Amino acid sequence: MSVDGVDTATSSVKSGPVLAALLVGAVGLGVYWWSRPQEPVAPGSTADSPASLAAVSGEGAGLRAGPPSAPVVALADAPQPPTARYDPNAEPHEAPPSKPVEFPVYDASASPPVESGPAETAGADPANQRAATLRATGEHAGGAAELAVLIESLRTDPLARNRLLAISGLRRLAADESLQPQVLDALRAAQSDRDTNVARNARDAYAEFAGP
Amino acid sequence: MNRFMKIAVAGAVTAATAAASAHDYGRIHHRPRLDFGQRIEALTRLESLELFGFFAPLADSSTLSLSATEAEANAARLLTVAPGLRVRVLSAAANLAPNIDQMFLFPVKHPTHIIACNEQGSGQIGVQRINIKTGVAETIISSGLSSCDPARVTPWGTVIVGEENGTNGRLFEILDPLNTNNVTVPASGFGASSDPAHVVARPALGQFSFEGIGILPNGVVYLTDENRPGGGGIGNPGGALVKFIPSTLWNSGAAAITSLDQSPWTAGNLYGFRVGRNTGNTDVGQGNEYGRGVWVEIAGAAPINLRAAASALKLTAYYRPEDMSVDQEALADGDVRFCGTNTGQEVPDTTPNGDNHWGEVYCVTDGTVAEASAISVTAGINTASIPEYHTLVLGTKDFAMPDNLDIQPGTGVFIVDEDGEGAIYDTPHNNDIWACLDDGDDTDTLTDGCVRAMSLNDLTAEPTGGFFDASGSHYYVSIQHNITGHGVILDVSGWR
């Protein structure tokens, strides 16, 4: 388009010197206007000002007066900061301690409360807490209670990873022949799971005990 | 005049529109497909063979989750590797403990076994050895350890293992691990094991959640506490880094010890890392976590509660410090540099409690070996060396929660096991193993690039304990709590 724009101006030159000069001037004016440097944003003068933001957010719109305008001061009249030599080692905002800082000393008898367990089990996401429970449930020799937990998780846990853990636990419970019918029922149903990994794991676990 | 004004305004608008259109034209149609950072990433992938020793990195994390049947048929399928690399099953023995974590080859010269921690409860197996030719697993410590995680061989020929168990965590030293079997240790405290000639606790090294262990040839050891911030109360610090200097340094040329009471770790002094040296070492606290620091003396009778000491002494804390590896190239030059991971915390943005703190890989320098091993305490500070901490790799959504790492001998490439939460995303994906370059001669202290080298095929598992053999040609990694229900250790080779 910028190329097209120049072409238009060039063709106009043929129709009359005056018009062409005007158009060239107008183009120049437009380019200048477009590419002019951005002025620094003055407080209270743009949409970023607190008053404008308040208006946008509806906070105190039309009720709260804006901050009083600062008096206009000519640049030459403005107070100048005191001149100082640059000292790279200076730390003007940081006063040195007036006396040696005494760092605390470790006193075993006054220990603050601290966590005593592994970090994995502290502050874990709820999904991972469920996973930890499923892993623990699957690790132990199971009974009806463990079976119920695993079947329920396989049916309802929204996370595919947790349903995979439930299948893994059920696989181990199936070593107990008395539990196999319920395990196989659950695995058969899970073969139609919407997650392909879960469905395949259920299919293979089912085949392991019931045959393909 | 009015007519001329109209023409001028029309011309100005045309020009302005043209300028604006030119602006948009450039952005929309001529914008490079890759921004500069992406081009650097692409270049890193393109030069994979030269930089990382395999033909090309993996583009994405695997989304496959093998069934137990599939994994039992061929456990090597649990890991997808970059083109050029190969996977062999070192062990998938039915009695290999399921949560194998850190491990190493033993003996150092002509190794025959891997010795590994098993990260389970005190009622389960703590430490095993695995024959690297047959894959047969045998148990060294059968119970008593809670969450055995770090494991290393010492310069004097013993084995050190640790518990990641909060302020109850302990370190144990094992003599003759190839002939020590089924030892039990007390579930807490420092009472004797069932075989005190071969397994003893080391109270001199204190107590916290042991995870990173970096041993110098003279017995000086760096330790990290896998602790998350806010545990036990909001504002409580995360995990600290401490250094233990034995009362008697080990002569690295000496023969292996024959009795555990000859170990340098029976007595010594502990120091904690605290960033901040400005204004008399006082600019300490939140906001100052990297750069130069001091070693603060941790005094007290063994076993010292190192987590409490870290809090009281205002030691610098990080988000779940994990594994650690001593830079052998720096060591060969007589300098101390060790690198480790801080896991951070990551869950999908769709869950309300995610930090998007994706963790990091860091490196610490501590002067020369002689400086790092000396003691010169003034006002509670060991001034003999100046530790300096810098981030090497900042985690990302892709490369999240780094856990174990090792530095490949011969290349200096970092291989980092990821322990992210990809499995709980809407589209679940597996944990990966990343290869990262060390920092080069550029001006920053950061890695020059990372690529995905391997990816698991088991959404219920994580890679742990990955380490190289001395030649750097074999990388051993555990597929922890995988779908089979037993341990799997894989041997990855093929680096060019």
Q: Looking at B204-351, which runs of residues are DSSP E strands?
A: 210-215, 221-225, 241-246, 268-275, 291-298, 321-326, 335-342
Residues of A in contact with B320 (CB under 8 A): 119
| pLDDT for the residue A26 | 57
Residues of B in contact with A9 (CB under 8 A): 11
Q: Which domains does chain B have, with CATH numbers?
A: 55-493 (2.120.10.30)
| pLDDT for the residue A212 | 61
Cα angle at B396 between B390 and B400, to 5 degrees?
Answer: 90
Q: Higher pLDDT residue, A78 or B309?
A: B309
CB contact under 8 A, B312 and A110: yes
Mutate to test the interface with A, among B210, B314, B458, B460 (most CBs of A within 10 A): B460
How many CB contacts within 8 angstroms connect chain A with chain B? 220
Average pLDDT on A173-187 reads 93
Residue among A155, A157, A152, A156 at smallest CA distance from A130: A157
Alpha helices (H) in chain A, listed in sequence order: 2-13, 17-35, 50-57, 126-139, 144-156, 160-173, 180-190, 196-210
CA B109 to chain CA centroid, Å, is 24
Assess contact for B279 and A97: CB atoms under 8 A: yes
Residue A128's pLDDT band (cuts 50, 70, 90): confident
The residue whose two tokens read 């980092």 is: B416
The residue whose two tokens read 């000393």 is: A105
Q: How far apart are CA B54 and CA B43, in angstroms?
A: 14
Complex-level ipTM: 0.87
A2 closest CB neighbour out of B21, B313, B380: B21
pLDDT in tens, chain B (496 residues): 455 555 554 444 444 444 444 444 445 555 668 999 999 999 999 999 999 999 999 999 999 999 999 999 999 999 999 999 999 999 999 999 999 999 999 999 999 999 999 999 999 999 999 999 999 999 999 999 999 999 999 999 999 999 999 999 999 999 999 999 999 999 999 999 999 999 999 999 999 999 999 999 999 999 999 999 998 899 999 999 999 999 999 999 899 999 999 999 999 999 999 999 999 999 999 999 999 999 999 999 999 999 999 999 999 999 999 999 999 999 999 999 999 999 999 888 888 888 999 999 999 999 999 999 999 999 999 999 999 999 999 999 999 999 999 999 999 999 999 999 999 998 999 999 999 999 999 999 999 999 999 999 999 999 999 999 999 999 999 999 999 999 999 999 999 9
**Hey, is the C-beta of B72 within 8 angstroms of any chain A C-beta?**
no
Residues of B in contact with A1 (CB under 8 A): 17-18, 21-22, 25
Residues of B in contact with A118 (CB under 8 A): 146-147, 164-166, 209, 226
CB contact under 8 A, A105 and B313: yes
Q: In what order do the strands lie in the sheet with B414-418?
A: B79-81, B450-456, B432-436, B414-418, B402-407
Residues of A in contact with B460 (CB under 8 A): 161, 164-165, 168
Question: Nearest residue of B to residue A165 by CA position?
Answer: B460
Residue among B475, B285, B279, B274 at smallest CA distance from B386: B274
List CB contacts of B17: < 8 A, sequence separation 6 or more. A1, A5
Q: How far apart are CA B113 and CA B129, in angstroms?
A: 6
CB contact under 8 A, A106 and B282: no
Question: Nearest residue of A to residue B459 by CA position?
Answer: A161
Question: Nearest residue of A to residue B423 by CA position?
Answer: A161
CA-CA-CA-CA torsion sign (B289, B295, B296, B300) = positive
DSSP codes joined into one string, A44-88: TSSTTSHHHHHHHHTSSTTTSPPPPPPPP--GGGSPPPPP----T
B226 closest CB neighbour out of A6, A35, A119: A119
Question: Nearest residue of A to residue B322 by CA position?
Answer: A119
